[in-house]
Chain A
């Protein structure tokens, strides 16, 4: 019996952070059929571990990235996006733990946050199901409230975080210990925080974040006993 947050963390660890691109020398763009959660300002690595800064993204079409060390390098082939940072906990606990996790914001974003309290339903001997895990998961990345209009919040952050959520769901679909997910609910928000009638008035985590909140029930099948 493993604790529910460990199962979710296991899914996050199995998420594929790679994207395959082809550099187009005539435009200076690297063509990708799936840009996943790539976004402007973030770092992307090539297969040799060279870092590039993303300067332009056309979702699921191309990325323009400049090399950070050798200016002659071009982004081509298998590329690695930033690995999501996973956390679980209540609002207060997560804010504290996430704040002290790393001083550099880049090392702890994008954030996948499993909100506690997690509700579970167990099944008895007559069922092939082990449990239902009712989870609320946030997919968050930094935003710039002083510079961005709402449209930019959505383009620059919400859209990539929606893609991050999609990758999470795709990963879950590929793990056969889980029943296929038929439906889920999600909410996108330009600013992540405590809302009033007039909008967000206070951050929940100590950073300016945007993203998606997913509400999902994951059903796990039973596994064999280990003696």
Chain B
């Protein structure tokens, strides 16, 4: 509850014309509350807006934005406020009720694989920006920053629902807002202000590098996603530019881009770093996916 200011009277109730209104909630962007360097994640409203695609592709996961797909049947109910009632019938306000979120992810966005990724969010203190159907971004404005709305992360509850005769497969997601969140602090950044429709942001896709074999001149591996069938995971194709990869000699703390990349057959890569790289037998070498929209790495010992 926000305390009363005893020096002020009632608030003025006029308003200018054409105040922006939030549209229906379409999706959310999850953001850790605090980055690993101790700074709070938020948009500095006094500076030019950052590259939002850059925030989604941010190398530091503690500063990254994690957009969720579009939800169906979104509800954001508010529980009743709590009062103490005297025998006379007089009531005293104790606290406002909690705000909850309930929404459904349908069809391709409802795989058990994705469920597994959602469940892990519970372990992190995070907040979320709301994205409405018009592509606007809603957050919590405080001291010149637009912060993500804090989520009560232990309440985070994604559930898988099997398809039935009358319903499609889905993930039902429910959670509560942080109970101390002041809803009057909500403001939005519009599509025209950002130069971007926030519904167009998509989260990174995890890439698994399997069977990594590292030598002093090249690295060979298969790349695939978590998604697919039990027998055949969907392969990661087309990352054939040297800039799509980063090789780091962990032992000597040097990073380099491979000289060239070959993919044959699809999903099987050879990164040749015989010219640009310096790797000796026994060095620990990390291969990283750096192509926009994807994330993954694997470390091996050079032989």
Q: Which residue numbers of A lie inside 8 Å of B, CB to CB?
A: 22, 128, 176-177, 180, 221-227
Contact A177 B17 (CB under 8 A): no
- State the Cβ distance, A224 to closest chain B Cβ, in Å: 5
Contact B133 A224 (CB under 8 A): no
The contact sample of 18 A-B pairs, CB cut-off 8 A, is: A22-B266, A176-B26, A176-B70, A176-B133, A176-B199, A177-B133, A180-B106, A221-B24, A221-B133, A221-B134, A222-B21, A223-B134, A224-B23, A224-B136, A224-B190, A225-B18, A225-B20, A227-B18
Ranked nearest first, the 9 interchain pairs of A and B with the lowest CB-CB distance are A227-B18, A176-B133, A176-B26, A225-B18, A221-B133, A224-B20, A176-B199, A223-B134, A128-B24
Q: A176-B70, A176-B135, A176-B199 are in contact. Are A221 and B23 (CB under 8 A)?
A: yes
- State the Cβ distance, A12 to closest chain B Cβ, in Å: 19
- State the Cβ distance, B165 to closest chain A Cβ, in Å: 15
Chain A residues near B20 (CB-CB < 8 A): 224-225
Contact B23 A223 (CB under 8 A): yes
- State the Cβ distance, B191 to closest chain A Cβ, in Å: 9
Task: Give a binary string over B56-86; 1 marks a CB under 8 Å from any A CB, 0 the rest.
Answer: 0000000000000010100000000000000
Count of chain B residues with Cβ under 8 Å from any Cβ of A? 17
Given contacts A223-B134, A225-B20, 20 further A-B contacts (CB under 8 A): A22-B266, A128-B23, A128-B24, A176-B26, A176-B133, A176-B135, A177-B133, A177-B134, A221-B24, A221-B133, A222-B23, A223-B23, A224-B21, A224-B23, A224-B134, A224-B136, A225-B18, A226-B18, A227-B17, A227-B18
Chain A residues near B133 (CB-CB < 8 A): 176-177, 221
- State the Cβ distance, B152 to closest chain A Cβ, in Å: 26
Chain B residues near A224 (CB-CB < 8 A): 20-21, 23, 134, 136, 190
Chain B 22-47 residues near chain A, CB threshold 8 A: 23-24, 26
- State the Cβ distance, B170 to closest chain A Cβ, in Å: 12
- State the Cβ distance, A73 to closest chain B Cβ, in Å: 20
Q: How far is the CA of A68 from the CA of B18 in the complex (A)?
A: 56
Chain B residues near A176 (CB-CB < 8 A): 26, 70, 133-135, 199
User: Which A residue sits closest to B134, measured CB to CB?
Assistant: A223
- State the Cβ distance, A124 to closest chain B Cβ, in Å: 15
Chain A residues near B70 (CB-CB < 8 A): 176
Q: How far is the CA of A113 from the CA of B106 in the complex (A)?
A: 30
- State the Cβ distance, A9 to closest chain B Cβ, in Å: 19
- State the Cβ distance, B225 to closest chain A Cβ, in Å: 15
Q: How far is the CA of A225 from the CA of B21 in the complex (A)?
A: 8
Q: How far is the CA of A225 from the CA of B20 in the complex (A)?
A: 7
Q: How far is the CA of A2 from the CA of B215 in the complex (A)?
A: 62
Q: How far is the CA of A128 from the CA of B21 in the complex (A)?
A: 10
User: Which B residue sits closest to A224, measured CB to CB?
Assistant: B20
Select the residue from A128, A177, A223, A224 with max chain B CB neighbours within 10 A.
Answer: A224
Q: How far is the CA of A114 from the CA of B218 in the complex (A)?
A: 57
- State the Cβ distance, B171 to closest chain A Cβ, in Å: 16
Chain A residues near B26 (CB-CB < 8 A): 176
Q: How far is the CA of A224 from the CA of B134 in the complex (A)?
A: 8
User: Which A residue sits closest to B199, measured CB to CB?
Assistant: A176
Q: How far is the CA of A227 from the CA of B17 in the complex (A)?
A: 8
Q: How far is the CA of A3 from the CA of B266 in the complex (A)?
A: 47
Contact B72 A180 (CB under 8 A): yes
Chain A residues near B24 (CB-CB < 8 A): 128, 221
User: Which A residue sits closest to B26, measured CB to CB?
Assistant: A176
Q: How far is the CA of A225 from the CA of B19 in the complex (A)?
A: 8
Q: How far is the CA of A178 from the CA of B72 in the complex (A)?
A: 12
Q: How far is the CA of A128 from the CA of B25 in the complex (A)?
A: 11
User: Which B residue sits closest to A180, measured CB to CB?
Assistant: B72
